[in-house]
Copies of this chain bind each other. A is one copy, B any other.
């Protein structure tokens, strides 16, 4: 008899018995829980709770709202091990990786603690004679987040801490693959002193999503997922009068220049390509080596570096990375390796079908290195989202940059070099939103903002950081003039006797 992960609505955990879905432990391949799939009515109830909580929360001073975030940070730190275990069991990532994810999430809570500073408007004295004008950034109302399986703790924390600190109320629809940690973390926020109804979680599938996208009480939607879904979310939300930011897929390239500190580059690439089984939208999945000499060195050192890598169950902290999320996804990743092979690429290290003793039914794919990849191959054009690093060989840096600029995605990219000029030229001209100089996962820190270009992000404003304050508020501009001076000038004759 498995437990069922329910919904958090108006401060209480609810169940929605009608429909449920299996939750797997991808390390064993077994079903460990059920997740309730919210009905239309349940989602509407959550929206109603958020709507009801809005007026009082909006009028709570930002500094008071921030106090909840200070306590939330504390609770997240106190419960870190428990959360990481929840993540590991349902997602498969190893404890050290889950802790890294959680830490990044907590940093977003810390940033939300600064809401009083971040919500400041601009004040102008004398925009005209005796006329003042200023701007205020007011909350939107009920806002919602729809989040992916790969960061069940972090990606939701990109969204609701700042949304709530700005005075909004929230309905979160987490991934149905690994809902436990996400739901638990929301309960910690409740425990931190948030009034009922400000934060709500509905677990579910497309039925729930479509309510969030169309209900007119919802004012904004933040989404992270694949590009086709992101496009659907963006156009549907916009068509229903909501503001929307929808983050999609990626194909992140690293250029390896001949002058790079090659040991460092390889060291960085190992983590960036295979960490979390490559199931990160910032995973580095393509290395573009400039010149055959650099390429040959890179391949040799990568092969050596990959040898000690261990794939295995989340429960063993010595493992470097765990399984992928589902059996279907495992087969899809293997399929991309097959296709590269069929297209003539060279499978230098082959991670297909690894044997993990004691976890024979887990959804594992081993670290894979493919050389001789070209732009025409399907494995190059699409996002694999697995522990697969592909090497493309080019003759010049311009060629490498052209490759990146021609790709439909523009999430992250990196260059490995020692040369200041190459780094500057690259960062200036590359058509990608997040750029690393010798930093393979250039995820912006919490006080900057996260967002790709091209088909990696739909919307004007990036996720978390300063942009999120703008996304979760609307500008109001007040212009003020006091025409009558009767009280000020009149008192001399009016009152004294």
The answer on a CB contact under 8 Å between A433 and B475 is yes
**So how many copies of this chain end up in the complex?**
4
Residues of A within 8 A of B (CB-CB), count: 117
Complex Cα spacing A21 to B117, Å: 42
Q: Indicate if A1 sits at the interface (CB-CB under 8 A).
A: no
Q: Residues of B contacting A476 with CB < 8 Å?
A: 427, 432-435, 453
Q: Indicate if A488 sits at the interface (CB-CB under 8 A).
A: yes
Complex Cα spacing A233 to B70, Å: 37
Complex Cα spacing A92 to B208, Å: 53
Q: Of the candidates B61, B120, B420, B479, which one forms a contact with A434 in the assembled complex, judged by CB atoms under 8 Å apart?
A: B479
Q: Indicate if A343 sits at the interface (CB-CB under 8 A).
A: no
Q: Of the candidates B123, B241, B471, which one forms a contact with A120 in the assembled complex, judged by CB atoms under 8 Å apart?
A: B123
The answer on a CB contact under 8 Å between B396 and A492 is yes
Q: Of the candidates B134, B238, B396, which one forms a contact with A234 in the assembled complex, judged by CB atoms under 8 Å apart?
A: B238
- Assess A428 versus B122: contact at CB under 8 Å? Given A258-B495, A481-B437: no
- Assess A235 versus B243: contact at CB under 8 Å? Given A257-B491, A483-B261: no
- Assess A479 versus B113: contact at CB under 8 Å? Given A238-B238, A292-B495: no
Q: Residues of B contacting A149 with CB < 8 Å?
A: none
Q: Of the candidates B257, B443, B475, B489, which one forms a contact with A467 in the assembled complex, judged by CB atoms under 8 Å apart?
A: B475
Q: Indicate if A17 sits at the interface (CB-CB under 8 A).
A: no
Binding-face segment, A81-89, A349-357, A456-464: A456-464
The answer on a CB contact under 8 Å between A435 and B235 is no
* A157 CB, nearest partner CB in chain B, Å: 16
Q: Indicate if A229 sits at the interface (CB-CB under 8 A).
A: no
Complex Cα spacing A181 to B235, Å: 36
Q: Is the interface of A mostly helix, strand, loop or mixed?
A: mixed
Complex Cα spacing A239 to B237, Å: 12
The answer on a CB contact under 8 Å between A495 and B293 is yes
Q: Contact flags (1/0) for A418-431 with B, using CB distance below 8 Å?
A: 11111111011000
Complex Cα spacing A116 to B444, Å: 13
Q: Indicate if A480 sits at the interface (CB-CB under 8 A).
A: yes
The answer on a CB contact under 8 Å between B421 and A124 is no
The answer on a CB contact under 8 Å between B61 and A479 is no
Q: Indicate if A114 sits at the interface (CB-CB under 8 A).
A: yes
Q: Indicate if A474 sits at the interface (CB-CB under 8 A).
A: yes
Closest to A448 in B: B477
Binding-face segment, A30-38, A125-133, A189-197, A305-313: A125-133
- Assess A495 versus B133: contact at CB under 8 Å? Given A419-B418, A484-B418: no
- Assess A420 versus B482: contact at CB under 8 Å? Given A116-B445, A135-B123, A471-B460: yes
- Assess A487 versus B129: contact at CB under 8 Å? Given A63-B107, A433-B474, A479-B434: no
* A232 CB, nearest partner CB in chain B, Å: 11
* A455 CB, nearest partner CB in chain B, Å: 8
Complex Cα spacing A241 to B111, Å: 31
Q: Residues of B contacting A241 with CB < 8 Å?
A: 455, 458
* A398 CB, nearest partner CB in chain B, Å: 8
* A126 CB, nearest partner CB in chain B, Å: 4
What are the 6 tightest A-B residue pairs by CB atom distance, in nearest-first order? A291-B495, A421-B482, A419-B487, A437-B480, A114-B114, A261-B484
